[in-house]
């Protein structure tokens, strides 16, 4: 039994609907046994009730629930930085050639290790991972992920048109390979499976039906894809599906819009699409760094919230700009500011919620993770800036916990992630030599 002593902050409820959603213990205690939180509260109180627990002293930093990235591409870690293009050109020139390289198992393993290491060192404890087009690269991914202890919800990406021939499959093969991967990996350790057509642009109706067949046969797997990211993409989908009411309808008609569906981007939705997403309780993964880098547009958060659509955050590596949910939260804030009266003013509690609890809800893992409630898994990130850094200075002069949280989202980077736990297991610890900077 361990008692973690730290400044604790979490958002068990949504600040979009609940006032005072940010819960803070400035000198807090979290009692953890067998990976689960048994008690929480002021340190002195938890200590008095559990005098024999081993104390882990984390004073001097801030302990947050582990970050939850609801849209990130495993095969794209090495193509980060491909700036200067919009979506379709970026896929063609920057991304798909790299994705084809994952047909080589040794290459796929190296990329999987780089990807999983980047998640952990950025404080991400759960991720909805867009996989590779190759089944063997997914076997490699799941086996590497199991060794890290991270929670991954991932699936083979399937497409049968308009990418490049070596990335195409058939509905029959997509079904057979998906079924085999689900039987091998879904619910094994901390892994779950997500059925993942790349986007309707590269999927025939037959392929979407094959995806639906998997969802029917295995009702608790998740579903993810892309939606309404870029105007040229939206127009191409309209031409490819002349009888569909809109982009969402291409998925909806196949029965793929459910409580366990997460659709990335949705920068250009119609009102009907928002209403249907809300009715089916499916989630939108907002990827603000990617939307900026690829010039996709300004996410209409207010329209999503007004329609009742649940929204979480994704880094969208490699369309995005890295693995940090701190940066993603800050960029979400910037973009809402830039929208002026059309934007939603986001405070630090919103940014924390979007990067933790909202992701757990999107993945239907809200009973397991996303906050520090009693009974939840101990999934946590300990942020402690190296001495002498700007963030260290600013935190030392912050006039209260809410301002500290704003400082973390404004200035925090990978270098500030000191330790990470999943289910009580330590999955990352910053090398101690990096802790002193400039002193
Ligand atoms: N951002 C992004 N959008 C996509 N739409 C289809 N594939 C992709 C991808 O890899 N990244
Ligand atoms: Zn994406």
CATH of the domain at 244: 3.20.20.140
Looking at the fold, whether 260 and 408 belong to one and the same domain comes out as: no
Looking at the fold, whether 120 and 183 belong to one and the same domain comes out as: yes
**In this structure, is the dihedral angle defined by the CA atoms of residues 234, 155, 279 and 330, taken in order, positive or negative?**
negative
Residue listed under structure tokens 């002593």: 5
Output the DSSP codes for 221-266: SEEEEEES--HHHHHHHHHH-TT-SSHHHHHHTTT--STTEEEEE-
Looking at the fold, whether 209 and 310 belong to one and the same domain comes out as: yes
> For the chain, how many structural domains are there in total?
2
Looking at the fold, whether 398 and 258 belong to one and the same domain comes out as: no
Looking at the fold, whether 298 and 391 belong to one and the same domain comes out as: no
Looking at the fold, whether 189 and 230 belong to one and the same domain comes out as: yes
> Which structural domain range is residue 180 located in?
67-362
> Which among 339, 362, 385 is the end of a domain?
362
Looking at the fold, whether 298 and 322 belong to one and the same domain comes out as: yes
Looking at the fold, whether 58 and 73 belong to one and the same domain comes out as: no
> Which among 320, 335, 362 is the end of a domain?
362
DSSP 3-state of 21: coil
Looking at the fold, whether 139 and 264 belong to one and the same domain comes out as: yes
> Which among 308, 341, 362 is the end of a domain?
362
CB contact at 8 A, 34 and 49: no
Whether 439 is covered by a domain: the verdict is: no
The tens-digit pLDDT sequence of the chain (439 residues) is 999 999 999 999 999 999 899 999 999 999 999 999 999 999 999 999 999 999 999 999 999 999 999 999 999 999 999 999 999 999 999 999 999 999 999 999 999 999 999 999 999 999 999 999 999 999 999 999 999 999 999 999 999 999 999 999 999 999 999 999 999 999 999 999 999 999 999 999 999 999 999 999 999 999 999 999 999 999 999 999 999 999 999 999 999 999 999 999 999 999 999 999 999 999 999 999 999 999 999 999 999 999 999 999 999 999 999 999 999 999 999 999 999 999 999 999 999 999 999 999 999 999 999 999 999 999 999 999 999 999 999 999 999 999 999 999 999 999 999 999 999 999 999 997 544 444 3
386: CATH: 2.30.40.10
- Tell me which residues have their CB closer than 6 angstroms to ligand 1: 73, 87, 91, 95, 198-199, 226, 229, 290, 316, 319
Report d(CA 245, CA 292) in Å as an integer: 28
CB contact at 8 A, 335 and 351: no
For ligand 1, pick from 70, 97, 199 the residue to mutate: most ligand atoms within 8 Å of CB.
199
Q: Which atom of ligand 1 is nearest to the CA of 99?
A: 10
């Amino acid at each position: 039994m361990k008692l973690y002593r730290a400044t604790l902050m979490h958002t068990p409820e949504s600040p979009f609907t609940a006032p005072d959603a940010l819960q803070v213990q400035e000198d807090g205690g979290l009692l953890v046994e067998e990976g689960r939180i048994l008690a929480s509260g002021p340190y002195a109180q938890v200590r008095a009730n559990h005098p024999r627990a081993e104390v882990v002293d984390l004073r001097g930093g801030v302990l947050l629930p582990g970050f939850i990235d609801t849209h990130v591409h495993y095969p794209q870690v090495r193509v980060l930085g491909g700036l200067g293009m919009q979506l379709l050109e970026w896929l063609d020139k920057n991304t798909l050639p790299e994705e084809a390289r994952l047909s080589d198992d040794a290459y796929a393993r190296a990329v999987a290790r780089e990807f999983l290491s980047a998640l952990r060192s950025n404080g991400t404890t759960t991720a909805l991972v867009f996989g590779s087009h190759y089944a063997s690269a997914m076997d490699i991914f799941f086996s590497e992920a199991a060794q890290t202890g991270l929670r991954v919800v991932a699936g083979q990406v399937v497409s049968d048109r308009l990418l490049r021939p070596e990335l195409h499959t058939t509905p029959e093969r997509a079904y057979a390979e998906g079924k085999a991967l689900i039987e091998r990996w879904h619910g094994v350790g901390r892994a779950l499976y997500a059925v993942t057509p790349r986007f309707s642009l590269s999927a025939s109706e037959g392929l979407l039906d094959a995806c639906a067949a998997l969802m029917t046969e295995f009702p608790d797997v998740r579903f993810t894809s892309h939606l309404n990211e870029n105007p040229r993409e939206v127009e191409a989908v309209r031409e490819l599906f002349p009888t569909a009411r809109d982009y969402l309808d291409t998925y909806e008609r196949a029965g793929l819009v459910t409580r366990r569906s997460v659709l990335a981007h949705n920068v250009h939705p119609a009102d009907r699409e928002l209403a249907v997403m809300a009715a089916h309780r499916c989630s939108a993964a907002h990827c603000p760094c990617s939307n900026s880098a690829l010039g996709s547009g300004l996410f209409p958060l207010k329209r999503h919230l007004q329609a009742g659509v649940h929204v979480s955050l994704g880094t969208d590596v490699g369309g995005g700009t890295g693995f940090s949910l701190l940066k993603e939260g800050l960029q979400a804030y910037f973009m809402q500011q830039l929208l002026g009266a059309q934007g939603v003013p986001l405070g630090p509690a919103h940014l924390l919620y979007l990067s933790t609890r909202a992701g757990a809800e999107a993945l239907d893992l809200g009973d397991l993770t996303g906050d520090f409630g009693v009974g939840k898994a101990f999934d946590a990130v300990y942020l402690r800036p190296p001495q002498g850094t700007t963030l260290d200075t600013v935190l030392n002069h912050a006039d209260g916990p809410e301002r500290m949280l704003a400082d973390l989202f404004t200035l925090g980077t990978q270098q500030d992630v000191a330790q990470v736990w999943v289910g009580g297991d330590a999955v990352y610890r910053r090398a101690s030599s990096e802790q002193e900077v400039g002193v």
